[in-house]
């Protein structure tokens, strides 16, 4: 069966005023609860909003946060469109046992990326290179493939280094000119594949979507999979 896809210019995204209210989710607690794909959770929460007459666009930003009392990796889920969609997302994550969630600060479009969109009874997920795919073509929650992504408790323990996507201060590791051309810190195991992929593109000035992080089967991992999962597949 052919995948239902559209190019970015075929969808009517909600831009709003460029600042979006958010739900903040502690990604570390989400993983410990066995929820390894946050995009699936967002789509699951919004599936009953597909019939809404107004479009909804979801913008995401991953960042280090101390809003839950300790330094952690957080996902800020911004909503452009009907504000009650934010309440739906908050209620969904709140009902997952032991997951920390709060109504967060506003995030600007310039520091976030649109990843989910609801329009004309469909939920669309960004696949990269300007392509969006209908959610009914995605793996269902709890599928065998998803279950293979579960990491052990040891994998989910925080590194001794400062909690950031890269083991250094800031979102992009410092590149120092030493005797070798380039040097950078390793990606943290709890960082998402999508964030590290975007970081590589930013550091080396590559086009968006040009970098893919693949397993031994040459298949790219999902953007919301973890770097720890990628490493495990190569062991």
Determine the pLDDT at residue 117.
95
Six token digits for residue 25: 């989710």
Angle at 123 between CA 117 and CA 125, to 5 degrees: 65
Give φ, ψ of 78 to 5 degrees.
Answer: -95, 140
Determine the pLDDT at residue 194.
80
Sheet holding 5-7, edge to edge: 5-7, 131-134, 122-128, 113-119, 56-65, 72-80, 19-26, 101-108
Q: How many CB atoms lie within 10 A of CB 181?
A: 7
Determine the pLDDT at residue 128.
81
Q: How many CB atoms lie within 10 A of CB 139?
A: 12
Domains of the chain: 5-137 (3.30.70), 152-235 (3.10.20)
The Cα 81–Cα 98 span in angstroms is: 29
Written as tens digits, the pLDDT of the chain (235 aa) is 467 899 999 999 998 888 999 999 999 999 899 888 899 999 999 988 877 788 999 999 988 899 999 999 899 999 999 889 999 999 999 999 999 999 988 999 888 999 999 998 899 998 888 889 998 744 443 333 433 443 333 333 333 332 334 444 344 333 333 333 434 456 667 677 887 877 787 767 788 778 888 988 988 888 878 788 888 888 8
């Amino acid at each position: 069966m052919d995948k239902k896809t559209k190019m970015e210019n075929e969808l009517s995204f909600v831009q709003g005023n460029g600042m979006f209210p958010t739900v903040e989710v502690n990604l570390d607690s989400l993983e410990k609860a066995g929820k390894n794909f946050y995009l699936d959770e967002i789509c699951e929460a919004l599936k009953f909003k597909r019939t809404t007459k107004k479009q909804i666009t979801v913008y995401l930003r991953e960042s280090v946060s101390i809003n839950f009392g300790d330094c952690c990796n957080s996902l800020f889920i911004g909503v452009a469109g009907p504000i009650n969609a934010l309440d739906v997302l908050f209620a969904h994550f709140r009902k997952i046992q032991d997951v920390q969630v709060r109504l967060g600060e506003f995030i600007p479009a310039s520091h976030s990326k649109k990843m989910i969109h609801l329009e004309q009874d469909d939920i669309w997920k960004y696949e990269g290179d300007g392509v969006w795919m209908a959610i009914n073509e995605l793996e269902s929650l709890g599928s065998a493939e998803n279950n293979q992504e579960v990491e052990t408790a040891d994998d989910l323990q925080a590194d001794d280094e400062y909690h950031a996507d890269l083991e250094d201060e800031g979102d992009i590791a410092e590149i120092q000119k030493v005797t070798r051309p380039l040097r950078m810190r390793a990606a943290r195991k709890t960082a998402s594949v999508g964030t590290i992929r975007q970081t590589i593109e930013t550091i080396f000035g590559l086009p968006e979507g040009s970098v893919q992080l693949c397993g031994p089967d040459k298949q790219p991992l999902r953007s919301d999979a973890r770097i720890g999962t990628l490493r495990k597949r190569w062991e």
